[in-house]
């Protein structure tokens, strides 16, 4: 029981990170119908920007505590958004309206570029940092097992919830959100009604990238080590989460992220660590056999 509770806490905090990345995938998919393969690498860049700013700020002794984390988060979000914007501008916008596989290949190429760019610029070695938020509270004590809810995990969950709340407000309550939803439904019609679709799509990438930056910062704080390759696996998992939840559905992405996080932690805790990815992918395949459009996805209406 206590062991399961601990896994629940670990799984939710991991799932939140996946959920944040998955939102970026699902938003881009909803609006231009392409898999943004470079999104995992945008997440990796977010983690690197956070790492660099932590080394500059905290290790330099300029600032510490929650204020420093806030600054790190903001810097990472700004710079990563710029990367997201640039990627869209260079690799996807020229292919708007082109056939389906062209942006996919372009995205895979961009993913290779970003990965190797960071490897060349920052080196291939793993980068460790000191834990910034130590300590935690003991939730429960059963026999010899202590259930820990660390401040780090609390922070991940709190920050993610706050960011998701702002994001939901942005999508449902603001003119930009309305433009985004309109573009998602019918891009041509939205354009005819005076929405600058190119700008809306660019902003979608910017928002997606800043969410990925939050995820990257949280990942860095949680694990304490990153390298240039973390983007691939996290990206694939988050994409799996987006598909599991029903691609194009924003609550679905968060739900899918949580599910993938929980499946992974529980599988590693009770069965085997080596096969945790197999478990996540198999559950994806099984869910899709019975629900071909994911958990919360809308069934696509085919018109003849």
Among 65, 66, 94, 131, which residue interacts with other proteins (rule: CB under 8 A)? 94
Residue from 67, 120, 142, 192 touching other proteins (CB under 8 A): that is: 120
When the beta carbons of 63 and 277 are compared against other proteins, the nearer one is: 277
Q: How far apart are CA 4 and CA 83, in angstroms?
A: 39
> Does the protein bind other proteins through residue 101 (CB under 8 A)?
yes
Q: Distance between CA 231 and CA 303 in Å, rounded?
A: 38
Closest contact distance (angstroms) between CB of 257 and other proteins is 14
Output the smallest distance, CB 289 to other proteins, in A.
5
Q: Are strands 136-142 and 127-128 parallel, antiparallel or unpaired?
A: unpaired
Residues between 127 and 156 that touch other proteins (CB under 8 A):
127-130
Residues with Cβ within 8 Å of 17's Cβ and at least 6 positions away in sequence, in order, are 156, 160, 215, 218, 219, 222, 234, 257, 261
Quote the radius of gyration of the chain (alpha carbons, Å).
19
Residues 50-89: x where in contact with other proteins by CB under 8 A, - otherwise, as a string: -xxx-xx--x-------------------x--xx--x--x
Residue 178 CA to residue 195 CA, distance in Å, equals 10
Stretch that binds other proteins, among 2-10, 43-51, 144-152, 167-175 (CB under 8 A): 43-51
Provide the minimum distance between the beta carbon of 288 and other proteins in the complex, in angstroms, as a whole number.
Answer: 6
**By rule CB under 8 A, what string of x and - marks binding of each residue 264-283 to other proteins?**
----------xx-xx--xx-
Binding mask 205-234 for other proteins (x = CB under 8 A): ---------------------------x--
Binding of other proteins by 105 (CB under 8 A): yes
Find how far residue 21's CA is from the centre of its chain. 1
* Stretch of 157-165, 209-217, 239-247, 263-271 contacting other proteins, by CB under 8 A: 239-247
Q: Is 28 in the site for other proteins (CB under 8 A)?
A: no
Cβ distance to other proteins smaller for residue 93 or 181? 93
């Amino acid at each position: 029981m206590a062991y399961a509770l601990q896994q629940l806490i670990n799984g939710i905090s991991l799932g939140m990170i996946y959920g944040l990345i998955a939102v970026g995938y699902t938003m881009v998919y909803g609006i231009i119908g392409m898999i943004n393969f470079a999104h995992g690498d945008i997440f990796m860049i977010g983690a690197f920007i956070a790492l660099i700013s932590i080394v500059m700020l905290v290790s330099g002794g300029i600032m510490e505590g929650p204020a420093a984390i806030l600054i790190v988060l903001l810097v990472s979000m700004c710079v990563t958004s710029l990367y997201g914007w640039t990627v869209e501008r260079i690799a996807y916008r020229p292919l708007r309206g082109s056939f389906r596989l062209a942006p996919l290949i372009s995205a895979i190429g961009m993913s290779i570029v970003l990965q190797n760019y960071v490897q060349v610029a920052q080196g291939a070695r793993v980068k460790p940092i000191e834990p910034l938020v130590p300590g935690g509270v003991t939730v429960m004590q059963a026999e010899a097992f202590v259930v820990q809810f660390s401040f780090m995990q609390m922070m991940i969950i709190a920050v993610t919830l706050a960011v998701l709340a702002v994001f939901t407000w942005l999508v449902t309550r603001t003119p930009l959100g309305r433009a985004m939803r309109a573009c998602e439904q019918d891009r041509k019609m939205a354009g005819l009604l005076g929405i600058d679709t190119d700008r809306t799509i660019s902003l979608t990438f910017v928002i997606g990238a800043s969410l990925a930056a939050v995820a990257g910062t949280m990942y860095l704080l949680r694990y304490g080590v990153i390298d240039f390759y973390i983007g691939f696996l996290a990206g694939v998992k988050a994409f799996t989460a987006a598909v599991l939840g029903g691609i194009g559905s924003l609550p679905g992405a968060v739900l899918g992220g949580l599910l993938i996080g929980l499946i992974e932690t529980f599988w590693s805790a009770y069965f085997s660590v080596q096969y945790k990815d197999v478990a996540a992918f198999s559950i994806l395949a099984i869910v899709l056999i019975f629900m071909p459009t994911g958990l919360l996805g809308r069934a696509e209406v085919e018109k003849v």
